[in-house]
Amino acid sequence: MTEQPDWDCRRAGEELDAFVRGDLPLAEAGRMQSHLDRCGHCAEVARYEQAFRDRLRAIDTDTCCPEALLQRIRDLLASPPRES
């Protein structure tokens, strides 16, 4: 059995979305987690994404939000990610 190399930031970035959604298989999620433990930058991005999704979920479940704000959030989500 060969040890697989740790993910680099590029790979972590590609899988971050699935990781935050909880869609990564357990083995992959574990490798993502070990990268996040080592990499402050990716951990920061993951934390931000997580908080954002938590907030969105809260908005979805209790619909106290003005429609205009919801639309703004949808627009933000629909816009392409910024080049870094």
Interface residues toward Zn ion, by CB under 5 A = 9, 12, 39, 42
**Alpha carbons 36 and 51: distance in angstroms, whole number:** 16
Q: d(Cα 49, Cα 43) in Å, to the nearest integer?
A: 10
Nearer to Zn ion, 24 or 42 (CB): 42
By beta-carbon proximity to Zn ion, the closer residue of 6 and 23 is 6
Query: To the nearest whole angstrom, how small is the minimum distance from the Cβ of residue 82 to Zn ion?
Result: 18
| Cβ nearer to Zn ion, comparing 8 with 60 | 8
Q: Which residues contact 65 (CB under 8 A, 6 or more apart)?
A: 59
